[in-house]
Amino acid sequence: MKVREDDVTVAGEIRTRVIRPVGDGAWPGLLLYTDIFQLTESTLRTARRFAASGFVVAVPEIYPHGELAGVALEFDDAGKAAGLAGAAATPTAMFDADRAAVLDHLAARDDVTSLFVTGFCIGGHLAFRAAFDPRVAATVCFYPTGLQNGALGADVADSLSRSADITGRLMVVFGSRDPHVPADARLQIVSALYAAGLDDVELHIYRGGEHAFMRDIGARHDPALTDLAINEAVSFFAGRS
């Protein structure tokens, strides 16, 4: 289906792109977290695919309060350094407060029914934390970084230790060749989830998938795995009906 896009400012500061199907009606709201490069066209192309599948997708900047506000970073060494610096300057509590604001915005919209969350890389970790909100019915984390050791922002995040706070459904997707989340880290994450009682989590490990395999720029992009991941996520959000 066709989509329309609007730029909104949430809570007076958080620049957010909202992408939704054209026409009247209501759809599930999907908070989509970017990687460290923020609102790049690459991520927005993925967001449009989700919107075209029947979601009101809200894509906020993850660094909306400092010098990176309004900046879409380049996929180069300078952009990577700036994105990592933005993460290092952001306390976990600030990430959490911004998440609550964007979910509040989605929940208040007349064209939104239920609430879902997804994200990539650091955004996968942020999506995991968003799942702590009891309003979130389902979450898909794509190659989330830092879950195993709390690496997220300016402090050590308590994300994995709070797994029991997740009440909605959870799906996690990794690439088998992701150096940021190697096999031992994946085992640590899954063990913690099971220990917290989340023994029905969907875990996908895509053979040959590298970190950021869904980013459609650069040598790591795998179009076939990207299509598989998006289709799996849409099916998961639909309840596997």
Task: Please give the positions annotated as active site.
Answer: 121, 178, 211
- Alpha carbon 60 to its chain centroid, in Å, reads 10
Helices 41-52 & 223-237, crossing angle to 10 degrees? Answer: 40
Contact assessment for residue 176 and residue 169, using Cβ atoms and an 8 Å cutoff: no
Contact assessment for residue 139 and residue 131, using Cβ atoms and an 8 Å cutoff: yes
168-186 burial, b if ≥16 CB within 10 A, otherwise e? bbbbbbbbeebebbeeebb
Q: In the beta sheet, which residues pair with residue 6?
A: 18
Which DSSP string do the residues of 163-223 spell out, in sequence order? GGG--SEEEEEEEEE-TTS-HHHHHHHHHHHHHTT-TT-EEEEEEEEETTTT-SSSTT--H
Contact assessment for residue 125 and residue 144, using Cβ atoms and an 8 Å cutoff: yes
Whole-number CA gyration radius for the chain: 16
Cα angle 206, 212, 216; round to 5: 105
